[in-house]
Amino acid sequence: MENTSSSYAATRDQLSEFLIRATLIESYHSFARHDKPYPFATPESLRPGISTAAYEHPFQRSALILVVDGPLPASLRKHIRFRSANEMTVANLSRLAPEIAGNLIPPQGLSMNDEGFPALLGRLLDMDYALLMQRPAENTPISLSHVHVKVERLTDNAVRVLARDLGYIRRTLYEKGEVHAEMLERKFYEYFGFAANSSGRKCAAAMAAQLLAAEASRFAVFASCQEDCRLTVIDESEIVTHHLLIRIKAEALKRIGAEQVAHYSINDRMEPGGHTVVCYRARFRRTLAAQPAKSADAVRSDIGLEEPWLELTEAYILPVPGLNVPALPYNWIS
C-alpha cells in the first residue's frame, strides 16, 4: 500500500523543483537569449500588502497548478471547473491545445515519476487557466487529471467569506462602507501572499486556495505570473512560500557557506558587478491579525487591517535543482 503522506510530500517537492526550473531558471535564460535585462525583484517587493506594477514580462513563463492529496470534492465543481470535457485525454487535448497534441508522444503515465510526463507538463504550463493534479483513490499516485481548469468565483464573495471568518465583518462585505470593503479586498490578496492589486492567475490562485482550504485536507497551489517573476506556493498551513531569482556577489555566497559557487549559481556568466544569480526561497507565516477571532461572535477591531498579515519566518538560497547540497540561510529581505 502506498504511503500517501510521503508520496504527497515527494510529489510536492518534485513539482517545486520542476517549476523552479521551468518558470524561473528557464525564464531567466529566455531573457538572456533575447538580450533583455531580467527584472530582478527588490527586497521591498516582498513586503506584505504592497501594490506592484501590472506590466507582464513576455519572456517570463506562467503556471497555475492545483495539487490535491485525494479526489477533488465534487462540491467544488461550481467554482473549480473539472469535468469530462477538460479531463486529461488525447481527444480533449486535441480540441483544447491542438498545437501540443499534434506531435505529442504520450508519457507512460501522468504522475511526476512517470517517464515522459515532466516533458509533457512543461508543454502544458503555457495553456490558459490551471492544471489539476489529484489522487483519484487511496492507493494510486497523484496524477494530472484535468487541463484548462477555470477557477471562477466573485471576488466580493471570496473577500466576504474570509473577512467574516476572521471576524472583521458580521455578515455583508459593505456593512462598514466601501472604503472598508476595499481595504478587506487588499488584505485578502495579502493573506495569500500576493500584491494588493492582484489579478489573473494570482487572483485565481488565491480563490482556489481558499476553496480548497475549506474542503480538502491537504493541497498545494503553485502560481507563477509574468508580473512579479516569482513562484508562489500556498497550502493548507499558515505558510506562504515564494521562490524568486536574486543577485548576490560570488564572494558573499562563499561567506555564507557555499563551498562552490556553481552549486547555487543558475547563470552561465557573471552579471555586471561580479554578481551571480541564485534561487531564493522566502517563507512567510500569517500573523495573529490574519487568524480567526477568539470569539466567533465578536467583530474584531479594524486595527488588524493596518497590521501586516504575513511575517517572514525563514529565507534561504537554494542549490541548483538536482544537486544534493544544503540550502544557505540568507536574510536578503530585511
Query: Which tens digits make up the pLDDT trace of 162-213?
Result: 999 999 999 999 999 999 999 999 999 999 999 988 888 999 999 999 999 9
pLDDT in tens, 231-246: 999 999 999 999 999 9
% of residues, the chain, pLDDT over 70 = 97
Is position 245 within any domain? yes
Look at residue 49 in the predicted model and tell me its pLDDT: 82
Look at residue 256 in the predicted model and tell me its pLDDT: 96
Is position 110 within any domain? yes
Is position 216 within any domain? yes
Q: Are 135 and 71 contacting, i.e. CB atoms less than 8 angstroms apart?
A: yes
Rounded Cα distance, 236 and 216, in Å: 8
Look at residue 117 in the predicted model and tell me its pLDDT: 92
Is position 334 within any domain? no
| CB-based burial label for 288 (10 Å; 0-12, 13-18, 19+) | exposed
pLDDT in tens, 249-264: 999 999 999 999 999 9
Look at residue 297 in the predicted model and tell me its pLDDT: 65
| pLDDT band of 26, cuts 50, 70, 90 | very high
pLDDT in tens, 73-126: 999 999 999 999 999 998 999 999 888 887 777 787 899 999 999 999 999 998
143-151 and 130-134: which strand pairing?
antiparallel
| b/e per residue 36-73 (b: at least 16 CB within 10 A) | eebbebeeebbebbeeeeeeebebbbbbbbbbbbbebe
Does residue 130 surpass a pLDDT of 80? yes
Rounded Cα distance, 255 and 232, in Å: 28
**In the predicted model, what is the mean pLDDT of residues 116-141?**
91
- Give the CA distances from residue 302 to residues 180, 192, 197, 306, 312, in Å, rounded to whole numbers and listed in that order: 9, 19, 20, 7, 22
Closest CA to 229 of 214, 241, 244: 244
Look at residue 5 in the predicted model and tell me its pLDDT: 67
DSSP 23: I
**In the predicted model, what is the mean pLDDT of residues 302-318?**
96
For the entire predicted model, the pTM comes to 0.94
**In the predicted model, what is the mean pLDDT of residues 23-28?**
97
Closest CA to 66 of 172, 180, 207: 207
Does residue 316 surpass a pLDDT of 60? yes
**Strands (DSSP E) found in the chain:** 63-68, 80-81, 130-134, 143-151, 219-224, 230-235, 239-249, 275-286, 310-318, 328-329
Residue with cell 490551471: 130
Grid coordinates belonging to 185: 479586498
Rounded Cα distance, 217 and 5, in Å: 11
* Domain extent for 133: 4-329
% of residues, the chain, pLDDT over 90 = 76
Is position 319 within any domain? yes
**In the predicted model, what is the mean pLDDT of residues 7-13?**
93
Is position 274 within any domain? yes
Q: What is the mean pLDDT of the chain?
A: 92
- pLDDT-wise least confident of 114-118, 172-176, 218-222, 307-311: 114-118
Look at residue 3 in the predicted model and tell me its pLDDT: 62
Closest CA to 66 of 244, 293, 234: 234
Look at residue 183 in the predicted model and tell me its pLDDT: 96
Look at residue 273 in the predicted model and tell me its pLDDT: 78
DSSP for 293-325, written as a single string: -SSTTPPPPTHHHHS-SEEEEEEEEEPPTT---
Is position 55 within any domain? yes
Is position 261 within any domain? yes
Domain count, the chain: 1
Look at residue 199 in the predicted model and tell me its pLDDT: 84
Look at residue 1 in the predicted model and tell me its pLDDT: 45
